[in-house]
Structure 1
Amino acid sequence: MNPFPVYDSRLSASHLGTFLQPRYSLDARLQCRILKTGINHSYLLNDGDKKLVFRLYSYNWRTKTEIEEEIRLLKLLNENGVPISYPIADATGSFIQEIMAPEGLRFGVLFSFAEGEKIRSFTDDMHFNIGIAMARFHQVTQNLTLERVTYNVETLLISPLQRAQTFFAAGSETMTFLKTSTHQLVEKLKEINLRDVRTGTVHLDIWFDNMHVTPSGGVTFFDFDFCGNGWQALDLAYFNVQLFNTEFDADEYQRKLQRFLEGYETIVKISEEENRLIPYLAVSLWFYYLGVQCQRFDDWGNLFISEDYFKRFIGLIQKWCTKHELFA
């Protein structure tokens, strides 16, 4: 009897550890356990002397070329002293493992473990250090182009709207809001003065879940799965809006944001045009990740695609737009 086809599988951690141990010349004491699931699966490896993280990309999520470009970026950042979790080659010098899972060929990469821990609420000084780390990343990657997605009006707004249309009725409150807001954002982004906006590589997912902080306040970024090309102010907008969503006290939000920006500008200055653009990019990123949630619906079921979620989703956007006087 042939196995039934699967959409996605979770590989046995113990068997994966056995597979990886000789390839990376790791200690025989190696222990492997699942660390995080989602679009990709991450496994924590511990051989007694060190910790490592193995990311197993979902089937058909990233091409081999896209992963190679992510590795190229991370090697460049590591060589320039940017605090990131970096890729590790196996005993043959290869960075990418190919694993035939039940659903098909999946790729995997081993990464260094980011020292410290995840912290949901950062101190003011930690925000300052995060700003420095992001600016160093942007400084190294300004004008760099990867063979990966370019984040622009099409990828941030038009494509996500098309994906959302497969989930919501044309005349629904949600679709009406998405269509109207997308049209307004498209028009606003057409007004960008490109001479005063830096382009290059962006992370597009820098928030507390993708960084570790040490007791001394050191910051390490990881999970560059969404890295690509675009306006570097996108990363500023994304971090800003994540802070807005997690700091409910308005004064605390403003103070921590200011410290983050002060840290950033010790390395790179933010132009007036970039500052003007950030609130619009933040809403665009909300819509972009809505498109990802629709695209990868089977990874989460209906967790994000629900009436209750969208009431909160729309409420947050409207609160943000009111604060920044957008579309007034």
Structure 2
Amino acid sequence: MNPFPVYDSRLSASHLGLFLQEKYPLKDPILCRILKTGINHSYLLKDGVNRKIFRLYSYNWRTKREIEEELRLLSLLHESGVPISYPIADATGNFIQEIIAPEGLRFGVLFSFAEGEKIRNFTDDMSYNIGVAMARFHQTTQDLALERVTYNEETLLLSPLQRIKTSFAADSATMAFVESTTHSLVEKMKEIRSDQVRFGTVHLDIWFDNMHVTPDGGVTFFDFDFCGNGWQALDLAYFNVQLFNTEPDPDEYQRKLQRFLEGYETVTLLSPEEKRLIPYLAVCLWFFYLGVQCQRFDDWGNLFISEDYFKRFIELIRKWCTKQAIFE
């Protein structure tokens, strides 16, 4: 009997540890355990007191060329002193491992471990330091082009809209809001004064789950899986969104946001046009990631993607639009 086709598999952590021990100069004993599942799978690797992270990309999620470009970016950032988790080559100098999983060929990369821990609620000083680190990243990558996705009206709005429409009721008031707001945002994007907005490489996923903070406030970014080309103000918009989601107190939110921006502008100044765009780009990113959730439905299951979730998600966007006085 032939094996039944597999959509996605979770590799044995113990066997993966042995595989990595053959590839990298690691010490005995090796401890490998699953750390996080989702679109990709992350494994924690320990040899003695040393820790590393092995990311196993999902089948057909990223091409080898896209991963190579991600690693090219990370190498540049590491060499420039930007605080990031960087890729580690194996004993033969290769950065990308090829693993034949039950579903097919998957790629994997070993990364340095970011010291510190994930902190959901930032202090004012942490917000400031995140702003500094993000600005250093943007300063290093302004005008840099990657052979990866470019974030624009099509990739941020129109393609996600088509995915969203296949997952939720087409005739609901919630969907009507999504459609009308999407088309309004497309028109807003056409008004952008490009000469006043920096373009380059963006992370597009900088939030508490993708950074570690040390006790002395040092910040290290990781998980550049969504990196690509775009307006660098997108990263500021995304941080703004995540702060809005995690800080319920309006005064605390405003103070931490101000500290973040102060930290950012110690490195590079934001133009008035970039500041004007941030509230609109934030809504673009909400729609983009809702589209990703629909695209990768099988990674989370139907309890996550439901009509009730859809309504709550959109109500949060409505609340943001009201606070920012846009689309009134």
TM-score when normalising by structure 1: 0.99
Alignment of structure 1 residues 201-280 onto 2, 5 Å:
201-280=201-280
Q: Hey, what does 1:92 align to over in structure 2?
A: 92
Conserved? CA contact 1:143–1:201, under 8 Å: yes
How big is each residue's C-alpha offset from its partner over 1:170-222, in whole Å with a ceiling of 9 and x where there is no partner?
21223211111101111111110001000000000000000000000000000
Matched, 1:4 2:4: yes
Conserved? CA contact 1:168–1:174, under 8 Å: no
Q: CA deviation at 1:310?
A: 1.6
Residue aligned with 2:45, SS: strand
How big is each residue's C-alpha offset from its partner over 1:102-151, in whole Å with a ceiling of 9 and x where there is no partner?
00000000000000000111110011000000000000000000000000
Conserved? CA contact 1:89–1:95, under 8 Å: yes
Spell out structure 1 runs of 4+ moving beyond 3 A: none
Q: Hey, what does 1:69 align to over in structure 2?
A: 69
* Equivalent-residue separation in structure 2 for 1:37 and 1:321 (angstroms): 32
Q: CA deviation at 1:79?
A: 0.1
Residue aligned with 1:100, SS: strand
Alignment of structure 1 residues 309-328 onto 2, 5 Å:
309-328=309-328
Q: CA deviation at 1:168?
A: 2.3
* Equivalent-residue separation in structure 2 for 1:119 and 1:303 (angstroms): 26
Q: Hey, what does 2:104 align to over in structure 1?
A: 104
Conserved? CA contact 1:241–1:282, under 8 Å: yes
Residue aligned with 1:111, SS: strand
* Residues 303 and 135 (structure 1), Cα distance of their counterparts in 2 relative to 1, 3 Å cut: farther
* Equivalent-residue separation in structure 2 for 1:210 and 1:303 (angstroms): 24
* Equivalent-residue separation in structure 1 for 2:155 and 2:163 (angstroms): 11
Conserved? CA contact 2:206–2:239, under 8 Å: yes
Q: CA deviation at 1:272?
A: 0.2
* Equivalent-residue separation in structure 1 for 2:46 and 2:65 (angstroms): 29
Q: CA deviation at 1:327?
A: 1.3
Alignment of structure 1 residues 26-105 onto 2, 5 Å:
26-105=26-105
* Equivalent-residue separation in structure 1 for 2:231 and 2:303 (angstroms): 30
* Equivalent-residue separation in structure 1 for 2:230 and 2:163 (angstroms): 21
More displaced 10-residue stretch of structure 1: 55-64 or 303-312: 303-312
Query: What letter matches 1:112 in structure 2?
Result: S
* Equivalent-residue separation in structure 2 for 1:247 and 1:170 (angstroms): 32
Query: What letter matches 2:159 in structure 1?
Result: S
Conserved? CA contact 1:31–1:47, under 8 Å: yes
Conserved? CA contact 1:9–1:101, under 8 Å: yes
Residue aligned with 1:169, SS: coil
Query: What letter matches 1:92 in structure 2?
Result: T
Residue aligned with 1:120, SS: coil
* Residues 304 and 187 (structure 1), Cα distance of their counterparts in 2 relative to 1, 3 Å cut: farther
Q: Hey, what does 1:136 align to over in structure 2?
A: 136
Residue aligned with 1:45, SS: strand
Q: Hey, what does 1:150 align to over in structure 2?
A: 150
Conserved? CA contact 2:115–2:214, under 8 Å: yes
Conserved? CA contact 2:160–2:291, under 8 Å: yes
Q: CA deviation at 1:303?
A: 3.5
Query: What letter matches 2:223 in structure 1?
Result: D
Q: Hey, what does 1:120 align to over in structure 2?
A: 120
Matched, 1:187 2:187: yes
Residue aligned with 1:46, SS: strand
Unmatched 5+ residue regions in structure 2? none
* Equivalent-residue separation in structure 1 for 2:226 and 2:132 (angstroms): 21
Conserved? CA contact 2:204–2:235, under 8 Å: yes
Query: What letter matches 1:24 in structure 2?
Result: Y
Q: CA deviation at 1:169?
A: 3.1
Query: What letter matches 2:305 in structure 1?
Result: I
* Equivalent-residue separation in structure 1 for 2:49 and 2:318 (angstroms): 49
TM-score when normalising by structure 2: 0.99
Query: What letter matches 2:311 in structure 1?
Result: K
* Equivalent-residue separation in structure 2 for 1:76 and 1:96 (angstroms): 17
Q: CA deviation at 1:311?
A: 2.0
Query: What letter matches 1:182 in structure 2?
Result: T
